[in-house]
Structure 1
C-alpha cells in the first residue's frame, strides 16, 4: 500500500474517477472490496481529500456511505464505502427531510462469519450522523418500499454514523402518504396536486453527438416550483442519452422516449420523443406557460414559447384563441383582452355559474396552422 501512497498523484491522474463527497467534486480511486462479504455492495475508496466515517460518496450516479474508520497514509486517505439501499423520509410536524440509508435485514456475526436474519418484521438502517439525523427519536415512523416502520432502538456508538433498530408498524390510511413513502404527511399538510411539463414540445430531433437541453416547469396546486427535483430516464440510452440535468445527446440513429418525473412524486411525469438525425430539419413545437386557474372577473397572462427541435426560437409568432372546453359557444366563459407578440391576457367572466368550468387557450403558429398548443385553464371562485 505504501507504493500506491507514494504514487497517489500518478494513480489519480491515470485511473482516478470523478466522485462527490458530501456534494463536493473530488477525484478518487474506487475498487471493489475483495473479501468474503458478498451480501453488500462494498468498495474501497482512496483519495487525497480528507474523508470521514459517515461521509456520503456519489459514484456512478449511486450513493455510498463511508462505513469504516479512515486509514490515513502520508499522502492519501483510504476507507470502505457501502452502497445506500434507499432514501427514507422522516417527518417532524410537517418538516419532511430525506436521508440516504443502508437498510439491513441481516446482520453479520463476527464470531461465526455468517449472516443472521434479524427478527421477523425488523430491519436496521444506517445513516450519516448530522444535525438532522441526530433528531430522529424513538417511535418515529418512516416508510421503506411502501411499508411503515418505527424506530425502536438508536445506536450512536460509531462516530459519524447512526444505526436504528426498526420494527414493522401499521399503515395509517388517513395520514400516511403511502405511495410516496412519507409517514404522517397528511397530518400536517393539505393535499397537493403536482404537475410536471417538458416545455420542449412532444417531439424533437437531435443531431448525432449533439446536445439539447430539456426545459421543465413544475407546479404544486398551480404555484410554480422554483427548483423541482427531477429524475430523467431514456427508453434506449444507446440511441438517446440523458443526464440528471436534462441534457440530451444523440448517440446513434433512431428514436427514444425521454421521461422526466418528480423524484419524490414519481407518478408525476412527462415525456418527449426524440429522434437522432444526421441532417438537421425544422420541427416546430409550442409550449404555453401561465397559471392553470383564473378567479372569476380577474385576468391572467400567458406566454407561448416556440421551439425548433427542442431549442427555443424567437423569430416565429403565434395566433391566440380561447374557447369553452365543454363545447358551448355562448356565453363565453373567458375572453382575450390583450395580445402582444407571443403574450396574451385572458379575463374570466363573472357569472357564478362558471365556477370550476374550463376554457381552452390555443396558440397556433402564424405560418403553419398544423403546429399548435392547447392549454386548459380552470375558473375558480373569488373566495
Structure 2
C-alpha cells in the first residue's frame, strides 16, 4: 500500500476493507501481508481511516494481533505493522491471575504452530500491550509458556504502547506451580482440593422388594466434611433398583444392581455400592458408626458401631474393626489401641505432617462379612 491510496482511502475501505476489532471497537481496515515470502512470524500491514497506535490489539480473522511498529500518520489514514500474538501468558499477582496475548520471540519455533519447542539458551523476548495491568509486571515475576517456566529478567518500557520483557528459563516449583494449566505459583495462594466421597453402608447392602432405603453418603474436601454436597446418583439397572437424586433407593424386582454416587461438579470423584433386592423375611443389616469425625494428632477417641436389621437396632450381632489411611497410603497414621465388642478406641499419630490427612475406620459384620460400614476421621494438629 502506498501513499497513492491516500486520496481514495474511503473508496478502498468501502470496496476492499475487512472488518476487524481494534481495542474492542469494530472498524473497516485494509490488510496486506508485510512480505512476499513465507515466514515463521505472521506479520501484516494495516491501514485505517481512524487513528492507530503502537500497542493496539487487533482481532482479525479469529486471531489476535498487536501493532508493534511506529504508526505512519497521513492526512486521511494511518498505517502500521502488526504481528500475530503467538502465545497467551498467565501472570499471577498474589493469587489474582490475568491472561495476556503476547508476541514471543525465541531462537527455535515450530514451523507448523508457531509455538516454542526448543530454546537454545533459555532466553525469550515477550512483547505485550502497555496497559494498566501489564505495568504491574515486575522483575523476577514467573510465568509458564507451553508447560515451561520463565522468569522476567528485564523490562523495556521505552517504546510507547509496548512493553518488552526479557525472560529466561526458570525451574519448575512442584509445590506451587500448576504446570498442567500453565499458571506459576497457583498453589501458593490457592488450596489444592482433594475430594473424597463415600457411601457409608459399605460395599454391599440390601433393600426389600417394593420398599425403600436411604443411602448414607458423606463427602470431604482435604479431609474436611462438606455440608450438603451436590451429588448425582445412578443405577446400573433401573428395572431392578431405582434411585432418586436424594439418594433414596427402591427395590423394583428381585436381583441386584450397582448404585453410583458422584460429586456433581467433580464427577471423577465417586463411590459405588452393590444393592440386592430381597423378599420380606430376609435379614437386612446395616451399620452406623458414631464418634468424633475429627481426631487431633497424638490423641485418642472412641467409636461405636450400631447394627440395624430393617432399620431397627439389634444387639445380637458384632463387628470386626480395621483402620487404614483414607488415601490408602502407608504407613497408617493411627492405630487401634483397644477393641471391645462393638466399640473401638483409636489413637492418632503424633507427627505434625499428618495435619489435614484422614483415616478410614471400617466395621465389618462378623455374621456377614459382605456387610460393612466406613467412617472417615480427619486428622488435625493439636495446636
TM-score, normalization: structure 1?
A: 0.50
Unaligned runs of 5+ in 2: 109-117, 197-216, 220-225, 250-258, 272-375, 377-383
Say if 2:70 is the partner of 1:69: yes
Which of the numbers 232, 246, 250 marks the counterpart of 1:347?
A: 246
| 1:152 paired residue number | 153
Which of the numbers 261, 265, 283 marks the counterpart of 1:358?
A: 261
Distance 2:132 2:229 in 1: 46
Q: Could you report, residue by residue, the CA deviation over 1:175-228 in whole angstroms, capped at 9, with x for unpaired residues?
A: 1111211111122223479xxxxxxxxxxxxxxxxxxxxxxxxxxx9xxxxxxx
Is the Cα contact below 8 Å between 1:294 and 1:377 reproduced in 2? no
Is the Cα contact below 8 Å between 1:324 and 1:358 reproduced in 2? no
| 2:176 paired residue number | 175
> Which is higher, the Rg of structure 1 or of structure 2?
2
Is the Cα contact below 8 Å between 1:294 and 1:348 reproduced in 2? no
Unaligned runs of 5+ in 1: 108-116, 194-220, 222-292, 303-321, 336-345, 351-355, 362-374
Distance 2:228 2:77 in 1: 65
| 1:2 paired residue number | 3
Distance 1:39 1:298 in 2: 54
Q: Could you report, residue by residue, the CA deviation over 1:58-82 in whole angstroms, capped at 9, with x for unpaired residues?
A: 1111111101111111111110001
Taking the TM superposition and a 5 Å limit, the aligned residue runs for 1:1-383 are: 1-34=2-35, 38-106=39-107, 120-191=121-192, 323-324=234-235, 335=244, 346-348=245-247, 358=261
SS at match of 1:7: helix
Distance 1:41 1:298 in 2: 52
Cα distance change on mapping 1:360 and 1:329 into 2, 3 Å: farther
TM-score, normalization: structure 2?
A: 0.50
SS at match of 2:124: strand
Distance 1:184 1:299 in 2: 29
Q: Could you report, residue by residue, the CA deviation over 1:268-320 in whole angstroms, capped at 9, with x for unpaired residues?
A: xxxxxxxxxxxxxxxxxxxxxxxxx9989969799xxxxxxxxxxxxxxxxxx
Distance 2:99 2:48 in 1: 27
Is the Cα contact below 8 Å between 1:297 and 1:348 reproduced in 2? no
Distance 1:55 1:5 in 2: 22
Q: CA RMSD in A?
A: 4.2
Is the Cα contact below 8 Å between 1:297 and 1:349 reproduced in 2? no
Is the Cα contact below 8 Å between 1:70 and 1:78 reproduced in 2? yes
Is the Cα contact below 8 Å between 2:42 and 2:83 reproduced in 1? yes
Is the Cα contact below 8 Å between 1:44 and 1:79 reproduced in 2? yes
SS at match of 1:98: strand
Distance 1:70 1:125 in 2: 20
